[in-house]
A and B are shown apart, each in its own frame.
Chain A
Amino acid sequence: MKVALFIPCYIDQLFPEVGVATVKILRRFDVKIDYPLEQTCCGQPAFNTGYWLEAKTLAEKFLKIFSNYDYIVSPSGSCTSMVRIFYPEILKNKNIEEITAKFFELTEFLTKVLQVDSTGAEFNHSVAYHDSCHALRELGIKESPRTLLKNVKKIKLLEIEESDRCCGFGGTFAVKFPEISTEMAKSKVDNIIKTGAEFVTSTDSSCLMHIGGYMSKNGVKVKTIHIAQILANF
């Protein structure tokens, strides 16, 4: 199978280690991956802020770049949901859903396509799992990440109270309504602290960036780590 990697712009520039981890994991299962260099952004920031024309332009380009692959994998629930759920909203092509159905978030790809429930990783730490809203509610991703994490050797996996409560990022919402966004981060972080975990992880770096940003500013010692980085620890 021909698999391409889709690395969201913010992971590319801010958290490249997440991309590196993703490659490591896929190669562990002998998946031959391509990384088309023309890729930039799926268009979500524009779409979510109402700029659908701009989002559409990017979406069309985006699909062209990935048109020759059987699967496209991304370490981001949020970007994957943009393609699978929202592209059909702005691109009224006839078989759009067939095309977008090839896009998978990493943990989905592992458990549903490769049908594995472990990467053989080891992580001797306590880790709390945060459900990213897009991954959970748009893509129904709930069990895959937990299954994969549970099988990481020596890990202590913890559930956050109201694990599905929004972290408050919401894209441009975080800068348009910073006070509300920050209060939501506070609620999330208060719940994370209650677990006593050393790390908080998620399928989405955008959430982790927001949660982590709040924690650093407020001297909270919990560290953020993307799920790919844990699963790649072999």
Chain B
Amino acid sequence: MKETYTPLKFKENALRFIQDEKRRANLNKAIYHTLSKRTEVVSELPDWEILRQRAHDIRKEAIENIWHYIEIFEKKASENGIKVIYASDAIEARNQVLEIAKRINAKLCVKSKSMVSEEIGLREFLEENGIETVETDLGEFIVQLAGEMPSHITAPAMHKSRDEIGKLFNEKLGVEFTSVPEELTKIARGFLRDKFLNADIGISGANFLVAETGSIVIVENEGNAGLSTTLPKIHIAIAGIEKIIPRLSDLTVFFKVLGRSATAQRFTSYVSIINSPRRKKPDSPEEIYLILLDNGRSQMLKSEKLKEALYCIKCGACMLACPVYQTVGGHSYGWVYPGPIGSILASAQLGLEKATPLPFASSLCGKCHEICPVKIEIHHTLVWLRHQAVELKKTSRMEKLLFKLWLSAMKDARIYKAGAKLLRFLKKIGIKPSLKAWSRTREFPQIAEKSFREIWEKELKN
């Protein structure tokens, strides 16, 4: 998986997935199920569009004033006993976690779902350094056993069938084969329960960081984040700087749109709003660390276009709704964040050099923008990234030349008409221009006998 897991291999990955009918069918069944449920729970809220706008406005306020709110957050959280650390990139973040782990001679970590931790390759790094690190979110646990990357940001194992999972558990956990979801879940529960109770460190992400109260907010359904952040003596939360929101009350807006957008739920089973370690509470970590990760985000802040992509609350709805994602699957994108928003993030975080096919791998239909709970103009940003790619000379010379020729034809109606005349002449003598890329699977349109302007001149003008 590792060598082909890069945006540069998008085309070949996509082709492979398109030809895998079974996997495509699995994926689309899951997607359609979620999307139809989403329609149901969204239609219950007559003020959905107002909520979306409100969510957009709050995220805008937060991002436009990000350092101000982060400062407030840091002050409050620190007062409450949370140790706030900045990590400028993946390497720094990983080393910070390792340092904490080494200090307490940690042997076992439990991890709840955190896309940011995938972004920095944390788990592999810790394991390389001799610390057993177990994913506790069922979907992540499954992909960890399979040695794969998650294929979707909120439903990581969406591409796997129950049979595949059954086989996986049988092979890796040594249990009898079953493909019944309830039984598989029970197996995971038993295996992971032991890990929760014996872990030295619990690692989590954060869905939101509330400046006003210095809170770390984690949203989940399984209970694994609750356990990972309560049982072990040390809790390390890692979050991108963009997770900041101004007030506690802002959460009420996001809770309404996040669950519905991500998993078609009215509300997730659990929400942890964590302010401080131990203090009065009996079972609670003794230390809580919050690592604020930059990893390319502050660069995005400098661009008016990319800034908006930071409003993202990581619900994954854009991926579900995207006809391209539905056709090629999450792994084709080769970055932890796939689909529409992932194409932007990959370009920003990996650089256009490494992410180039992605902004172009879209028909710009705009469904992502339509479904986005915070109204990010994803499709417009993709076109802007294409422009960046052209500016930075990352497109083929042939294509550049073609467009220059095209421009000279279009700039002058006389050249345009001459060109059209030429094509008609070629057709007459039997030479048909064929674009293999098109005509392999679709009929080519025929050039008309008489163009509209000819008809206008001769018949319609008066």
Q: Is the CB of B323 within 8 A of A166?
A: yes
Interface string of A213-224 (1 = CB under 8 A from B): 110110000000
Interface of B is mostly: helix
- Chain B residues 446 to 462 lying within 8 A of chain A, measured CB to CB, are 446-448, 450-457, 460-461
B416 close to A49 (CB less than 8 A): no
A-side interface mostly: helix
A87 CA / B374 CA spacing, docked (Å): 25
Q: Which of chain A's residues have a CB closer than 8 A to the CB of B390?
A: 49-52
- The interface-forming segment of A95-103, A104-112, A146-154, A180-188 is A180-188
B residues in contact with A178, CB < 8 Å: 437-438, 440-441
B residues less than 8 Å from A174 (CB atoms): 363, 437-438
Q: Which residue of B lies closest to A65 (CB)?
A: B413
Whether the pair B451, A133 counts as a contact (CB closer than 8 A) is no
Do B448 and A16 have beta carbons less than 8 Å apart?
Answer: yes
- In the complex, what residue of chain B is closest to A85 when comparing beta carbons? B380
User: B14 is contacted by which of A7, A15, A43, A177 (Cβ under 8 Å)?
Assistant: A177
Closest-CB distance, A169 to chain B (whole angstroms): 7
Among B138-163, those with CB < 8 Å from A are none
Shortest 9 CB-CB distances between A and B: which pairs?
A: A170-B363, A50-B386, A213-B442, A166-B365, A19-B452, A16-B452, A216-B443, A137-B366, A50-B390
Chain B residues at the A interface, C-beta cutoff of 8 Å = 11, 14-15, 18, 323-324, 327-328, 360-367, 369-370, 380, 383, 385-391, 395, 399-400, 403-404, 406-407, 409-413, 416, 420, 423, 435, 437-438, 440-448, 450-457, 460-461
Given contacts A58-B411, A169-B363, A170-B362, contact A214 B447 (CB under 8 A): no
Check if A46 is an interface residue, CB within 8 A of chain B.
yes
- On chain B, the residues within 8 Å of A173 by CB distance are 360-364
Nearest chain A residue, comparing its CB with the CB of B415: A40
- Which chain B residues lie closer than 8 Å to A170 at the CB level? 362-365
Is A63 part of the contact surface with B, judged by Cβ < 8 Å? no
* A159 contacts across to B, CB distance below 8 A: none
Chain A nearest CB from B122 CB (Å) reads 32
Sample 23 A-B pairs with CB under 8 A, ordered by A number. Answer: A9-B416, A12-B420, A12-B452, A12-B453, A13-B451, A14-B448, A15-B445, A40-B409, A41-B410, A41-B416, A46-B403, A49-B390, A50-B388, A133-B365, A166-B365, A170-B364, A177-B361, A178-B438, A178-B440, A179-B14, A213-B442, A213-B443, A214-B442
